[in-house]
């Protein structure tokens, strides 16, 4: 492997390669692997640097600690949001990273244990395949927690994967899907036992070395072209992103998380 892969960009993202498979581990178990800016930057770096690496034929994303894949973006990072551009720039940044993961030219597999919510759900949806244990909880419970909104791109990914009715349950009712329900809905490709999932996913990822590389790349690229034609431009959600992130409700919800204050939703 190249040295640029081996040098850690942040201790919060682990990197390893085994049998031609790159393993990206989100490593903040004390915070249920909530994503920091540095972690998003590291994931983007690996998407860029591994794309042309002929020694890597698949990539696995997983959470460290067994309690969570990724439990969203670290809420403390929203504490200083004060201008509309803060909100729009944040959603654009997430779209950029998630989009690079979605367009990564090799198979991507999400290994999911525990919480897979918010930004974690967006990352899992952008992978080609999702494998989980019975502890998986999938959703975007922002109607209960922060009072913000997803970008139009991530709303589109949800609709593409689970349909309009279930997307409304996820976003408007703040429903979390358990593993069995997620599997029945087609969100998860297969469920594995907690004590075997790493070996099982490693075997699946290694098997891609036996597949025609150009066919894999072409299939993924053409599927993404179809999906892109069905999606609106990124700025189609800017009005609601600004409204939600600049609201008193959002500021109060962030303050509750950071300073343990109490509040009630006001719709303002």
> Over 80: is that where the pLDDT of 204 sits?
yes
The CA distance from 194 to 201, in Å, is 11
Distance CA 119, CA 130 (A): 15
The domain locations on the chain are 3-259
Inter-residue contact 195 to 138 (CB < 8 Å) = no
Helices (H), the chain: 3-6, 37-51, 84-103, 119-126, 152-172, 179-184, 197-207, 213-229, 238-245, 248-259
Residue 6 has pLDDT above 80, yes or no: no
Q: Span 16-27, mean pLDDT?
A: 97
Question: Residue 192 — very low, low, confident or very high, per pLDDT cuts 50/70/90?
Answer: very high
pLDDT digits (tens, 9 = 90+) for 34-83: 999 999 999 999 999 999 999 999 999 999 999 999 999 999 999 999 99
Would the pLDDT of 4 be above 60? Answer: no
- Identify which of 75, 110, 82 has the alpha carbon closest to the alpha carbon of residue 198: 110
Tell me the average pLDDT across 16-33: 97
1 vs 149, which has greater pLDDT?
149
- Distance from C-alpha of 153 to C-alpha of 98, rounded to nearest angstrom: 10
Whether 1 shows a pLDDT value over 70: the answer reads: no
Mean per-residue pLDDT of the chain: 95
Q: What superfamily does domain 3-259 belong to in CATH? A: 2-enoyl-CoA Hydratase; Chain A, domain 1 (3.90.226.10)
Residues 6+ apart with CB under 8 A from 244: 87, 147, 148, 149, 250
Distance CA 22, CA 153 (A): 26
- Quick one: which of 177, 197, 178 has its CA closest to 134? 178
- What average pLDDT does this structure show over 224-229? 96
Model confidence at 5, in pLDDT bands (50, 70, 90)? Answer: low
Q: For the chain, give the percent of residues with pLDDT over 90.
A: 97
Average pLDDT of 150-167?
Answer: 97
Residue 30 token pair: 């004390």
Asked if residue 139 lies in contact with residue 175, where contact means CB atoms within 8 angstroms, the answer is yes
Reply yes or no on whether the pLDDT at 189 is more than 50: yes
Task: Identify which of 198, 187, 179 has the alpha carbon closest to the alpha carbon of residue 134.
Answer: 179
Give residue 9's pLDDT: 79
Looking at residue 7, its pLDDT comes to 53
The answer to whether 105 touches 214, Cβ cutoff 8 Å, is: no
Judged against a pLDDT cut of 70, whether residue 152 lies above it is answered with: yes
């Amino acid at each position: 492997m190249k040295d640029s892969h081996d040098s850690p960009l942040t201790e919060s993202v682990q990197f390893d390669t085994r049998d031609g498979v790159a393993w990206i581990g989100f490593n903040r178990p004390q915070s249920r692997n909530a994503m920091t800016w540095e972690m998003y930057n590291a994931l983007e770096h690996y998407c860029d640097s591994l794309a042309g690496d002929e020694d890597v034929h698949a990539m696995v994303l997983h959470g460290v600690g067994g309690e969570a894949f990724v439990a969203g973006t670290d809420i403390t990072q929203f504490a200083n949001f004060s201008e509309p551009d803060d909100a729009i720039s944040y959603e654009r940044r997430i779209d950029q990273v998630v989009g690079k993961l979605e367009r990564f030219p090799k198979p991507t597999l999400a290994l999911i244990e525990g919480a897979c919510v918010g930004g974690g759900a967006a990352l899992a949806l952008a992978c080609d395949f999702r494998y989980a244990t019975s502890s998986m909880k999938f959703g975007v419970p922002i109607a209960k927690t922060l009072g913000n909104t997803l970008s139009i791109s991530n709303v589109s990914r949800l609709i593409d994967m689970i349909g309009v009715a279930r997307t409304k349950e996820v976003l408007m009712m703040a429903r979390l899907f358990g593993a069995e329900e997620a599997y029945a809905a087609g969100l998860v490709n297969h469920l594995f036992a907690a004590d075997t999932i790493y070996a099982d996913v490693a075997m699946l990822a290694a098997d891609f070395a036996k597949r025609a590389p150009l066919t894999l790349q072409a299939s993924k690229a053409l599927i993404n072209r179809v999906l892109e034609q069905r999606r609106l431009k990124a700025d189609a959600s800017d009005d609601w992103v600004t409204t939600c992130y600049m609201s008193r409700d959002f500021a109060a919800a962030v303050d509750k998380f950071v300073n343990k204050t109490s509040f009630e939703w006001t719709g303002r």
